[in-house]
Structure 1
Amino acid sequence: MSTMNLALAYSPAFLGLRFLLEVCALVCFGLWGWRRVPGRLRYLAVIAIPVAVAFAWGDFATAGDAARSGETTFDTPGPLRLLLELAVFGGAWAALRHSGMRRAAHWFLAVLVLYHLAAYDRVLWLLQH
């Protein structure tokens, strides 16, 4: 068993939490589109914005990342992938705030910070690859 498989960030519980955070982030973008885009365009925005974020999220990855399949469409250096992840999660936080859901935004941010602190091993792995 490799050291990476023993790392906290790659445990099934943390991978499950990460998946939930990713889904929550996409929901936040959809919610923002629904609340902030006027008229009938909101129906398009509630679908298009999360789909666009999900494509960027899924296509730009670091090869060999055990928190994902390890495969990628566009091999992205680890530090750049970390910035992308922080941008997506930070954007979701901003979307919640901009949608008028400040309390939810605070809780989401708190969970994100705690998750990334606890998953320091993956953060370090991304910074080194």
Structure 2
Amino acid sequence: MGNAWWNLTLRFLLELAALLGLGMAGWSLSEGWWRWILALALPLVAAALWGTFAVPDDPSRSGRAPVPVPGAVRLAVELAILFGGAAAFYLAGHAAAGLVMALLIALSYAFSLDRLGWLLRQ
């Protein structure tokens, strides 16, 4: 299951962007000390979910699965975090960034059909 280097790089950058978007939304959609809590907690929770729930022997990851889940569950986690990050940019007042991110997520998955098939068979 080989993804092109550019798609793996794009996917990594989208993961980072999702965390940034969640932090920005946490900051801009709250006030007072809640700003700090949400700006830090939202990306930390997303990163913890991303790293914890995995399909055993996933060749696109280390192969380790701290909490083994079926492929469909892993895909749902990925989509929720990535598109959640895009929506977070939009909600934080950066609509263009959110839209571009959503399009890039769709592009990345369109070039990852082999991985999508593998996930859904697990």
TM class, shorter-chain normalised?
A: over 0.9
**Equivalent residue number for residue 35 of structure 2:** 42
Distance (whole Å) between structure 2 residues aligned to residue 47 and residue 66 of structure 1: 30
**Equivalent residue number for residue 55 of structure 2:** 62
Aligned residues: 122
**Structure 2 regions of 5+ residues with no counterpart?**
none
TM-score (norm: length of structure 2)? 0.94
Equivalent of residue 84 in structure 1, options 77, 86, 97: 77
Distance (whole Å) between structure 1 residues aligned to residue 68 and residue 32 of structure 2: 39
Equivalent of residue 106 in structure 1, options 93, 99, 109: 99
Give the letter for the 1:95 counterpart. A
Distance (whole Å) between structure 2 residues aligned to residue 84 and residue 75 of structure 1: 13
Bigger drift between 55-64 and 37-46 goes to 37-46
**Structure 1 regions of 5+ residues with no counterpart?**
none
Bigger drift between 102-111 and 39-48 goes to 39-48
Moved over 6 A (4+): none
Give how far 1:13 is off. 3.0
State the Cα RMSD in Å. Answer: 1.1
Q: Does 1:73 align with 2:69?
A: no
Kept in 1: contact 2:18–2:82 (CA 8 A): yes
Distance (whole Å) between structure 1 residues aligned to residue 26 and residue 7 of structure 2: 29
Distance (whole Å) between structure 1 residues aligned to residue 47 and residue 37 of structure 2: 15
